[in-house]
Chain A
Amino acid sequence: MDALMLDGNAIAGMLQEVFAVEMTMAMGTCGNCGAAEPMGATHVFKGAGVVMRCPHCDTVLAKVVRSDTRLWLSFPGMRALEVSP
């Protein structure tokens, strides 16, 4: 158990900045275990960047790293992301 762990909800503002729509209800499918969960239910860890993990199998679904002027997004373990624009 990690006292620093947050929910997808905690980075909702940053995700909305990037995708320009509300993202906590967007459904992400884990590439490892296949579970589909709203982004708000993912487990979030903040450090130099943000890591989102599958709440079922802990696979890293997505990573976000930002500087003052740029933002790097990667989706190492997300098979699909279903967004309602």
Chain B
Amino acid sequence: MEGTTVLGRLSWQVAEVVDIVDETPRVKTIAFDVRGWHGHRAGQHVDVRLTAADGYQAQRSYSIASPPDGTSVELTVERLDDGEVSPYLTDELRPGDQIELRGPIGGYFVWEPSQGGPLLLVAGGSGVAPLMAMLRLRAGAGSNADARLLFSSRSWEDVIYRDELERLEGDGLRIVHTLTRSQPDGWTGYARRVDADMLAEVGPGPAERPRVYVCGPTLFVEAVAEALVQLGHDPQTVRTERFGPTGG
């Protein structure tokens, strides 16, 4: 018992930037090397802490987008123009820079391959990050569990992980995009906010008792969770992660 309690303790660790990838015009993925990282579970997050020269500190939570292997911790960060932390992370950080983080944190919004499917993942914008960790883990573990990702983005240019999602599709995984603000010429997919009809079409339905994970801005998650319950999904099977008014 003593051992598990010690494992539960959280301490701030130094994380060094090893790579930065542009995902979309407003979103970057930052890969950190964290010494002594003991691994994580798909869906967990970290707390990031920045300290100014005068000692002022700002703290935010970011989902881990990388699958649970090795020492790399990847965070996908959306730049919020009036944000206190995200503009620093997306604009200022360079490989070799160090920040502080603690984690991995959480056990509620987590998926393990042994839990199987069917899986229904619903993402709004950068809310796709923890769901991507699940999909990467699923692919890495060779799981062919029925999985669907319904991914709401503003436009095609705003679709995070677009190419990788295309590569991951198949083997029981279906990806469905909805583009809420603008669509490329000839777009035949969804072009509206996620609603009950869309969720019913993407499935799996309540009878199949899918494990449902919903992540995005609070109002997005609220609307999706409400529609899921309206369709007859058991609220106990729906796990949500809301990240506030704007998110990221």
Contact = CB atoms under 8 A, between A and B. Distances in A.
Interface of A: 1-10, 12-13, 16-17, 19-22, 24-25, 38-41, 85
B61 A10 contact: yes
- Secondary structure of the A contact surface, majority rule: mixed
Given A12-B105, A40-B108, A85-B4, A5 B10 contact: no
Contacts of B106: 9, 12, 22, 24, 40
Interface in B76-135: 102-103, 105-109
Contacts, number: 80
21 contacts: A1-B222, A3-B219, A5-B222, A5-B242, A7-B242, A9-B106, A10-B61, A10-B242, A10-B243, A12-B105, A12-B108, A13-B103, A13-B105, A20-B8, A21-B8, A22-B106, A24-B109, A40-B106, A40-B107, A40-B109, A85-B8
B8 A13 contact: no
B39 to A, nearest CB: 14
A5 B107 contact: no
Please classify how large the interface on chain B is, using the bins under 10, 10 to 19, 20 to 34, 35 or more.
20 to 34
Contacts of A21: 4-5, 8
